[in-house]
A and B are shown apart, each in its own frame.
Chain A
Amino acid sequence: AQTVTQSQPEMSVQEAETVTLSCTYDTSESDYYLFWYKQPPSRQMILVIRQEAYKQQNATENRFSVNFQKAAKSFSLKISDSQLGDAAMYFCAYRSSNSGGSNYKLTFGKGTLLTVNP
């Protein structure tokens, strides 16, 4: 079974600075998807960025980028120019790319609470 580990329960960053959130995962599969979700106080889970494991290039979405190290099974999220609105819980998630069985489910880490200080 796949597992996702986020080793930082809480992180803080100064506004306009850069912060990196860590995520490691364990899988025996070679093809899969990885995601970072943001959950603000409104509670809705919002997709921040996703990475396909077969792609070597790291995904980027504006101020958000990932460092995907497939061999190390590491998937960190970098937030540049942090803004007050970035404050939220951030969840790393894994999904198999295989369509059979119950491989469609998302496996989540426990989350990292990010505080942005003005």
Chain B
Amino acid sequence: ETGVTQTPRHLVMGMTNKKSLKCEQHLGHNAMYWYKQSAKKPLELMFVYSLEERVENNSVPSRFSPECPNSSHLFLHLHTLQPEDSALYLCASSRSVVNYGYTFGSGTRLTVV
């Protein structure tokens, strides 16, 4: 158990579907992150939340919609995705955005068909 739990572990969805990825941490961290990991590319930061407030939206298309209802939970709502959105989506948390001690989850492997 890593401290950061992501569900589901795998997800296959059609381009017209709506689905959500969930991330949960009970480490007492106040910052949470979504990263996208595509094959042959560096990890890309998507969103950052600090104390449930979004502080970074790294030019992510609107078909990705994050939600942070409290400091322990982070969601990534997906709708009308494209095949190129297929990737591993990693969630991470840290004590605060200025603290470099990240804890990562095991990711959700998303396939868009």
Contact = CB atoms under 8 A, between A and B. Distances in A.
A and B form one complex:
yes
B100 A50 contact: yes
Interface in B89-113: 90, 92, 97-98, 100-102, 104-107, 109
The DSSP consensus for interface residues of chain A is loop
A44 B107 contact: yes
A107 B42 contact: yes
B12 interface: no
Interface stretch (A53-61, A62-70, A78-86, A97-105): A97-105
23 contacts: A4-B42, A35-B100, A42-B106, A43-B88, A43-B106, A43-B107, A43-B109, A44-B2, A45-B92, A46-B104, A91-B43, A99-B97, A102-B55, A102-B58, A104-B31, A104-B97, A105-B45, A105-B56, A105-B58, A106-B43, A107-B42, A108-B43, A110-B41
Given A104-B48, A108-B42, 16 more contacts: A4-B42, A42-B106, A43-B90, A43-B106, A44-B105, A44-B106, A47-B101, A91-B43, A95-B100, A99-B97, A99-B98, A102-B58, A104-B31, A105-B45, A109-B42, A110-B41
A114 B100 CA distance: 25
A109 B41 CA distance: 8
A95 B102 CA distance: 11
A45 to B, nearest CB: 4
Contacts of A43: 88, 90, 106-107, 109
B102 A47 contact: yes
Task: Kindly list the 8 A-B residue pairs having the minimum CB-CB distance in the complex, ordered from nearest.
Answer: A45-B104, A104-B97, A108-B43, A108-B42, A44-B106, A99-B98, A43-B107, A105-B45
Given A104-B48, A104-B97, A105-B45, A44 B104 contact: yes
